[in-house]
Structure 1
Amino acid sequence: MSTDLHVIAVIEGKPGSAETIKAVATPCIEATRKEPGCLKYNLHQDQARPDHFIFVEHWASSEILDQHNKAPHLKALVDGLADLTIKPLEVSVLKELF
């Protein structure tokens, strides 16, 4: 059985925050993609709602994801988004069944 995990993280930005959110996210994306066990870390922008973003992530294991969650670049992202969003980051950690 596979031990890898998928993560979906939703960012609900305040109106007009899209460009700033992308700028805040870029350093975290670049650093995260270099982490061992990061299989995918992509940010998507909703074309109908440009201030709405979704991270799609793929991690080799829960232990590796735990390490990522302690990374300073992730903390910087979360802190940087605090004043740009209408609600806290919504994160779902998923285990593929089929």
Structure 2
Amino acid sequence: MLIKVFPIELKPGNQAAAEAIVQEFAPKGPAQEPGLRSFRVYRDPARPDYLLFVEHFADQAAYDAHTGSAAYKELIAGQFADLIVEFVEIDHELLVSL
């Protein structure tokens, strides 16, 4: 399993717009991808203009399919990318799951 974690700093004042894009993206992209095991996006109530993505994929091929999808290109690489200051892509390996 491949786990991706993305802490994302948004441009000031873009929390609501970013959340709306993520809400639109989830059913069009991740919900349609057989290799995606979990797609979760968190907000921090104490930190405006910030989101944390945590995504679980079956393997690298599933991640590549995810980032190559039309929904990803339009909504995440397109509209969402315009709202961010920076993000970091962190790969993780699963150690324990209950």
TM band (smaller chain): 0.7 to 0.9
Of 66, 69, 78, the residue aligned with 1:68 is 66
Q: Return the TM-score normalized by structure 1.
A: 0.83
Q: Which runs of 5+ in 1 are unaligned?
A: none
CA separation in 1, counterparts of 2:35 and 2:88?
22
What is the SS of the residue equivalent to 2:37? strand
Q: Does 1:5 align with 2:18?
A: no
3-state DSSP of counterpart to 1:96? coil
Kindly tell me the number of residue pairs found equivalent between the two proteins. Answer: 94
Q: Quick check: 1:58 aligned with 2:56?
A: yes
Q: Secondary structure at the match of 1:50?
A: strand
Residue type at the aligned position of 2:3: H
- Following TM superposition, the consecutive aligned residue runs of length 4 or more in structure 1 with deviations greater than 3 angstroms are none
How far apart, in 2, do the equivalents of 1:85 and 1:69 lie?
17
CA separation in 2, counterparts of 1:10 and 1:29? 17
The two structures have a TM-score, normalised by structure 2, of 0.83
Question: Structure 1 vs Structure 2: percent identity of aligned residues?
Answer: 29
Separation (CA, whole Å) in 2 of partners of 1:84 and 1:36: 28
Quick check: which one's strand share is greater?
2
RMSD: 1.6
Unaligned runs of 5+ in 2: none
Q: Which structure dedicates a bigger proportion of its chain to helix?
A: 2
Match of 1:82, SS?
helix
1:96 counterpart residue number: 94
